[in-house]
Amino acid sequence: MTVLPLRLSGLEPLLVYPGSNFINIGERTNVTGSREFARLIRQQNFEAAVAVARQQVENGAQILDVNMDDALLDGVSAMRRFLCLLAAEPDIARVPVMIDSSRWEIIEAGLQCVQGKCIVNSLSLKEGETHFLQQARTIRKYGAAVVVMCFDEQGQADTYDRRIAVAERSYRLLTQNGFPPQDIIIDPNVLAIGTGLEEHARYAVDFIEATRWIKQNLPHARVSGGISNLSFAFRGSPAVREAMHAAFLYHAIQAGLDMGIVNAGMITVYDQIPADLLELVEDLLFNRRPDATERLIAYARKQDTAQRKSKSDDAWRRQPCAERLRYALVNGIDQYIEHDTEEARQQLGDPLAVIEGPLMAGMQTVGELFGSGKMFLPQVVKTARVMKKAVAYLEPFLEQQRAAGRLRAAGRIVLATVKGDVHDIGKNIVAVVLRCNNYEVNDLGVMVPAEKIVSAAQQWQADLIGLSGLITPSLDEMVHVAAELKRHGLHQPLLIGGATTSRLHTALKIAPAYNGPVVHVPDASRCTQVVASLINPTARPAYTATIRQEYELLRQQHAARSRTKDYVSLSDARANRLVTDWKAYQPPVPRKPGITVLKDFSLQQLTARIDWTPFFQAWELSGKFPDLLDDPVIGAEARRLFADAQKTLQKIIDEKKLTAHGVFGLFPANTHHPDDVTLTAPDGTVRCIHFLRQQYVKTPGQPHLCLADFIAPASSGKTDYLGMFAVTAGMGLDQWLNELERRHDDYEAIMAKALADRLAEAFAETLHEQVRRHWWGYAPDEAFTNEELIAERYRGIRPAPGYPACPDHTEKQTLFDLLEVTQNTGIALTENFAMLPAAAVCGYYFAHPEARYFGVGKLDRDQVEDYARRKGWSLAQAEKWLSPALAYSP
């Protein structure tokens, strides 16, 4: 039989046929897999985003994977704009595009813009045959090829029999309904091996055998896979991972694997794998012996031990004292710091000379390395720990110097997390970096009112003031602080930072409220450059003039965009809401309705559900975990950081440093008003949850969504259910942080906060899984890997008040009242509805099969007025709490 080629194209054709080389799919134009690309898209820096695509093509990508799935993005608009820009770049547009999304409206938007013949990633049977064929017909109409994932209504196919059964069923349905077989690409699911679980032992060999079966039994179909998933269990051991990828690809390609997402930097030549390592790897791949995992782990540990031993050379201890101090600072070694500091004090005869001499010389080296990208944030924080211990040792000797006024810093900076907000990891990192550059920092802490910031800036004669915040109400609080600083006649430069802040909001709202310069600082790596430019009297005028010009341009561009942005009326949006056949749907009844309290939840159980990618983002190491562990630039430092995190995590568990509490409730509920849900508490009282609806112009056929659409209306005659939850893993954190502060250990303090946050998110993920499978019980047979849970492949959603689908933080109060959250867990709400402790998560549970995450987007005045009436607010109150989501200026 002659196998028909898979024909793809950008400006140039790409034919995949028997005998073709393996096709490498470039993955860096994916907002879920590349933090840098996501940042560029969020900032609408599409020119730089296009450069990322160009780099992928130049590095050998034969297909570009483009994904715009981000809750903070208008994914439809971003996909359209990016693809249109790619089409104008001949050197990029020559390769085909893979439109990658879990949201159908984004996929269809991409299909409407892409040139040539593309691939849609992905299609699956997890929502049934009707939905599967409906989407397939649309893909066919646009002439695209399709990646079919081996999922069905039962979940992910993870055995050989399940893989070939789902592949065969998908292929049969497509071909019987007119889909060209040569345009079908099957992904039989590359899954992690070497995990220690017996049921995972055949994952690799089953994939290879399933690939061979597909090529022999499904005529003309192609096979693809995500290769890096295979070696997840051996993250931190790059040599082992390289060998695993190379050997797996060698055998999978022989079996018929046509294409895949591969990190080219993590592939070695099969023939060059050391014979002893190759034997161990292939024993694991083919499940040839029961101790294959243990033997390969032992090899990896031996290699790691050898590497650590080779790095333990203490030749630096024979250097002069000043060189030893510099080395200790650059490498974050505090073992000898007190001894060396005392030696330097005796040599120089003056504690101040030690600080201004060898210590500051070492810190200057650190600053230069960090500024040039040769050091990374975790290393800088370790440096700060060493510096603080050195200064603490000298403290008794410095009292006389202070009294004499001889001790001088490069500048004085007041930092604060604004009133109502409790998140401070980023601010703490900035403080560490600034102190490492000889700035004196007065960190006022969290929930700091404007009057305290004003008073500290005045009394301390601050050179600069920095404001931080995470939740959206903090944006308005920053405007208030700026106005108060202005009212009191202050004009020091004002630095703005935090996850919800942006250059645009700073330019639009904060800068006009203040007399002095206002600068948005997106991350710690930028802060020293910004601060140096603002404090230096020679550099400051030109720098502030540049910032003013940039912000004025941003205001003008925003005004132009606002005039051209189209919105539909609230009545039209409601008329175009999601249509559901409620007669054909029977809402699942919870096995345990009412409220359930979970005290002292097992932290050990939560570790398996940690999503590590945001952990590395907190340390400003960008990339998707575990791939970033093998990144040629940051991989080594990422592995060191990960190893430290594992040690601290074990300490948290062994010494019970943190405690986790949770509560959830499952309540009878119905939609009465189009956008509101009423529910009945166990005591019989009825409460109302208020939601908001999308108003931006949608592609014809796409509904204007509201979370209320996923709950059965009262008119259906059926009782539906809405869940709520609140969890924390932060109890005990403050006491631990106080202990670390006394030890001058900023590194461990930031590590503790970051891990507490990850454990809280893992608690939310774990509890949601338990609710789906047991407490509510609508998905009792669900069985997903941690990666699939992070990718939200399960049925149901858990959106949180204050986030894109329900942007009003004040709705947390109803949730807290119903669940008695503070009494049951210890979590409290601030006046701006942030949660204390910060390592806490709350939200809703929706079980409807069509429930999905989305962003409400901007709100027009008619909806804000309607929302104010529903909430019993004045219009001014509604505009205050919904300020970041307003499509107009109040």
Look up 716 and say whether it is catalytic: no
Q: Residues 152, 258, 421, 443: which is the catalytic one?
A: 421
CA distance 837 to 422: 8
Residue 204: enclosing H or E segment and its boundaries? helix 203-217
CA distance 663 to 595: 7
Token pair listed for 260: 């895949």
Look up 276 and say whether it is catalytic: no
- Contacts (Cβ under 8 Å, ≥6 apart) of 830: 420, 421, 422, 447, 836
CA distance 6 to 219: 12
Cα dihedral 774, 779, 780, 786 sign: negative
CA distance 304 to 240: 11
CA distance 303 to 308: 9
Cis peptide before 626 (omega within 30 of 0): yes
Q: How is residue 837 annotated by DSSP?
A: S
Q: Residues 237, 474, 525, 622: which is the catalytic one?
A: 474
CA distance 518 to 516: 6
CA distance 385 to 203: 44
Q: How is residue 394 annotated by DSSP?
A: H
8 A C-beta contact, residue 190 and residue 263: no
CA distance 227 to 248: 8
8 A C-beta contact, residue 837 and residue 756: yes
| Cα–Cα nearest to 319, from 302, 340, 304 | 340
Q: CA–CA distance from 83 to each of 64, 97, 537, 698 (Å)?
A: 11, 9, 45, 18
Look up 9 and say whether it is catalytic: no
CA distance 753 to 759: 10
| Cα–Cα nearest to 803, from 416, 419, 499 | 499
Q: Helix (H, G, I), strand (E, B), or coil: what is residue 248?
A: helix
| Cα–Cα nearest to 660, from 597, 614, 746 | 597
Residues facing 662 on adjacent strands:
598, 727
8 A C-beta contact, residue 588 and residue 847: yes
Q: Residues 220, 245, 251, 423: which is the catalytic one?
A: 423
| Cα–Cα nearest to 159, from 216, 215, 199, 218 | 199
8 A C-beta contact, residue 17 and residue 252: no
Alpha helices by DSSP H, listed for 507-663, are 524-535, 540-564, 570-575, 603-607, 613-618, 635-654
Q: Which residues are catalytic?
A: 421, 423, 474
